[in-house]
Amino acid sequence: MDIIGFFQNNYERTLLLTWEHVWIVALSVFLATLIGVPIGIAITRNQKAAAKVINSANVLMTTPSIALFGLMLPILAVFGFGLGKVPAVIALVLYSQLPIIRNTYIAIKNVPPELIDAGKGLGMSSWRRLREIEIPLAIPVIIAGLRTAAVMNIGIAAIAAYIGAGGLGVFIQQGIARVYDEMIIGGAIMVSLLAILVDAGMALLERLVTSKGIKLEKALKS
Amino acid sequence: MIQYEKVTKIFGTGEDTVTAVDNVTLDIDKGKLVTFLGPSGCGKTTLLRMTNRLLNISSGKIIINGKNVMEMDPVKLRQSIGYAIQQIGLFPNKTIYENIATVPRLLKWDEKRTSERADELLDMLRLEPSSFRDRYPVELSGGQQQRVGVARCLAADPEILLMDEPFGAIDPINREVIQNEFLRIQGKLKKTIAFVTHDIHEAIKMGDRIAIFQGGKLVQYDTPEIILTQPRNQYIADFVGADRALKVLGIIRCREVMEKSPPNVVQGSMNTKEVLKMMEEHNWKHAVVLLKSRPIGYVTPKALKYEDTEVREIARPYPVTVEEGSVLRDVMSHMLMYDMRVICVTDEEERFTGLVSLNHIQKHLIDIYAEDMRENV
């Protein structure tokens, strides 16, 4: 088996598919963040809604991805988006909701009540408390949720090749169809590498956005 | 000035209600520190939290400087009042400077003024600004964090402070230190303060007046001395403790009981024979020897008998003297430690002002407890 030869012969296509893959995942995580983080914060203010929202996100996550693509197909077909990148991105956004909403919710809930009390008592508005205390304290855990979502999406996006979304899943899908081992393994290697790189990148981001005071606190506690 | 008028707080609705604060009326005069004292669940914290509307008032009124708090914007109201809590609640993601700057920033002070104010406060609380400003709360000891909590609550120079067991989270030794420092600061700043505590010692030490609560009701509101000497009922007597006569020693100052300008005082330059004659004439058991108004020691007739010199040559120095401002507890402690029945009292410049004896203290205590004793006969 000549994997290196495969990459040498197909490097342009490999780059293109990798780019496509990254793009789908990046867009979906971005959209999922815009939706999930505000929902996660909003449900900390309402205990009943919190249980419902988190359970719904749980159900979504337990649905197998192939099944979800299948379920969305007839609905999106009405708008002419049954196949391709649009249903893939939508599915990825939905899958990302659980880790993002759950982590945001837990992180905000875990802000020590005396900090909220002090902020309130000193005359911070609830918006200001959110911005200056709750979010800065929650951000490491929120980013950890994004990290889980991004890594998971890289895997699911590979499956989205079956509904014509493109990306590195194409190598795996075509490789299986053509019984072309180098292609299957080449695709798998690229997907794995991507997941490892994104994971490391998000870990770095987590460290960059965490306040020094909180890092010191963690270091002292452990 | 804070006025509480028939303030009531009821938690819950329907049959499931708890009256946490029950028809409380009291005034905290401008510049005074009032301690809210009582066991947990007595309503003291609830009353405090209604003052800056962290809790809503069920009925009654709270008026701050003539304005009803329920008619004010809660956020603006809180910005105008200092607030410190037992858990301190320093924001761990902010530096010490940023923590102190919280309220000035809310009030949109310019950065220079905020910065100068923060340094001033750190200095006042004996935290070196250059070394503490840029550190994070987690890098400070509990006592240092409490100080920053106090600095943060004083930052925008509010006229009124609400403090909920602000020194509750530190060890007794550091608590004593920070209490003394806070009293020193309060002596200068003269803020109007509501101070919640469950510690009778702290209440006596800190409070100009003490408000004692029981089951949401205000049961006595008086100066520490009156609370200790004339507790209104058994509950308060129990709460202040069987040793209240000893506690009272911690608040009465020497100048209130001492004998000012006693007669048995001689100048150091006098001759011993002359002094002996004076002492025998007046039947003094001892005489204080002064030199430039300062007590350098004492003499007894026995010690003078065979001497012929200046009296200062043979005066036996006092092992200890006390200042007029010392509390009787310290004075008595010295008496017991040095086995002295009489101690010399001086002013701040160590000039002799009088004598205090065990008899003086006893007489004073008997006077203030006289009412008590009569009741018990």
Q: Which of B83, B90, B91 lies nearest to residue A121, judging by beta carbons?
A: B83
Helix and strand numbers, DSSP H then E, in chain B: 17, 17
- Encoded tokens for B72: 């004010």
**Nearest beta carbon to residue B103 from set A112, A123, A136:** A123
Residues B41 and B187 in one domain: yes
Any domain includes B372: no
Say yes or no for a CB contact (<8 Å) between A123 and B162: no
Q: What is the pLDDT of residues A52-106, one digit of tens each?
A: 999 998 888 888 888 888 888 888 888 888 788 899 999 999 999 999 999 999 9
pLDDT at B374: 53
Contacts of A125 in chain B (CB under 8 A): 75
Mean pLDDT, chain A, integer:
92
Whether B97 and B138 share a structural domain: yes
Distance CA B64, CA B194 (A): 12
CA-CA distance, A142 to A144, in Å (whole number)?
Answer: 5
Judge: B79–A119 Cβ closer than 8 Å, yes or no: no
**Alpha carbon distances (Å) from B165 to B3, B141, B182, B199:** 21, 18, 13, 9
pLDDT of residue B364: 86
**Average of per-residue pLDDT across A42-52:** 91
Rounded CA separation B299/B301 (Å): 7
Among A118, A128, A136, whose Cβ lies nearest the Cβ of B93?
A136
Residue B377 belongs to some domain of the structure: no
Give the CB-side neighbour count of residue B159, counting CA atoms within 13 A: 9
Residues B151 and B208 in one domain: yes
Structure tokens given for B319? 């092992």
pLDDT value of residue B57: 94
> Whose CA is closest to A155, among A36, A5, A21?
A21
CB contact under 8 A, B106 and A128: yes
pLDDT at A141 over 60: yes
CB B53 within 8 A of CB A117: no
Q: Which residue has the tokens 């530096």?
A: B95
In this structure, what are the phi and psi dihedrals at residue B196, rounded to the nearest 5 degrees? -85, 135
Residue A60: CA count within 13 A, CB half-sphere: 19
Provide the residue range defining the domain that includes B296.
255-363
Kindly list the residues from chain B whose CB atom is less than 8 angstroms away from the CB atom of residue A129: none
Test B138 with A137 for CB contact under 8 angstroms. no
Same domain, B195 and B343: no
Q: Residue B306 gets which letter from DSSP?
A: T
Q: Please state, in angstroms and rounded to a whole number, the distance separating the CA atoms of residues B17 and B344.
A: 60
Does B371 fall in a domain? no
Q: Are residues B175 and B59 in the same domain?
A: yes
Domain boundaries along the sequence of chain A? 12-215
Locus of tokens 């995942």: A25
In a domain, B56, yes or no: yes
pLDDT of residue B169: 80
Examine the domain organization and report whether B109 and B125 are in the same domain: yes
User: Residue B152, Cα to own-chain centre: how many angstroms?
Assistant: 21
Say yes or no: B112 and B217 in one domain. yes
A215 interfaces chain B, CB cutoff of 8 Å: no
Together in a domain, B301 and B283:
yes
Helix axes A85-109, A65-77, angle to 10 degrees: 120
Per-residue pLDDT of chain B (377 residues; tens, 9 = 90+): 999 999 999 998 888 899 999 999 999 999 999 999 999 889 999 999 999 999 999 999 999 999 999 999 999 999 999 999 999 999 999 999 999 999 999 999 999 999 999 999 999 888 999 999 999 999 999 889 999 999 999 999 999 999 999 998 888 888 888 998 899 999 999 999 999 999 988 999 999 999 999 999 999 999 998 898 888 888 888 888 878 878 888 888 898 899 988 988 999 888 888 888 888 889 888 899 998 889 999 998 888 888 888 888 888 898 888 998 888 988 999 999 998 888 999 988 889 999 999 888 888 888 877 665 555 54
Is residue B265 located within the same domain as residue B144?
no
- B90 chain-A contacts, CB cut-off 8 A: 118
Q: Which residue of B has its CA nearest to A209?
A: B93
CATH code: domain of residue B238: 3.40.50.300
Q: What is the pLDDT of residue B377?
A: 44
How confident is the model at residue B372, as a pLDDT? Answer: 58
The region, left, alpha or beta by phi > 0 then psi within -120 to 50, assigned to residue B126 is left
Question: Is the CB of residue A137 less than 8 Å away from at least one CB of chain B?
Answer: yes
Same domain, B117 and B239: yes
- Is A127 in CB contact (< 8 Å) with chain B? no
pLDDT at A169 over 50: yes
CA–CA gap between residue B345 and residue B137 (Å, rounded): 44
Both structure tokens of B348: 């701040």
Chain B within 8 Å of A212 (Cβ-Cβ)?
yes
**Taking CB atoms and an 8 Å limit, are B94 and A211 in contact across chains?**
yes
Residue B373 inside a domain? The answer is: no
**For testing contact with chain B, the best of A108, A110, A116, A122 (most B CBs within 10 A):** A122
The CATH number of residue B274's host domain is 3.10.580.10
Asked which of B196, B226, B252 is the last residue of a domain, the reply is: B252
Q: How many CA atoms lie within 13 A of A99 on its CB side?
A: 20
User: Cβ contacts (< 8 Å) between A132 and chain B: which residues?
Assistant: 91, 94
Under an 8 A CB cutoff, do A217 and B78 touch?
no
The shortest CB-CB distance from A121 to any of B76, B78, B137 is to B78
Q: Identify the H or E element spanning B112.
A: helix B111-124
Task: Tell me, yes or no, if A125 comes closer than 8 A to chain B by beta carbon.
Answer: yes
* Same domain assignment for residues B70 and B50: yes
Name which of A118, A137, A216 is nearest B89 (Cβ-Cβ). Answer: A118
Between CA B211 and CA B207 the distance in angstroms is: 9
Domain boundary among B252, B286, B301: B252
- Report the alpha-carbon distance of residue B329 to residue B244 in Å, rounded: 12
Answer whether residue A186 shows pLDDT above 60: yes
The ipTM value here is 0.84
| A120/B93 touch (CB, cutoff 8 Å), yes or no | no
Does domain A12-215 match CATH 1.10.3720.10? yes
pLDDT of residue B261: 85
Q: Do B350 and B222 reside in the same domain of the chain?
A: no
**Inter-chain touch A117–B89, beta carbons under 8 Å:** yes
d(CA B94, CA B54) in angstroms, rounded, equals 23
Domain boundary (B252, B275, B304) is at B252
Counting the structural domains of chain B, the total is 2
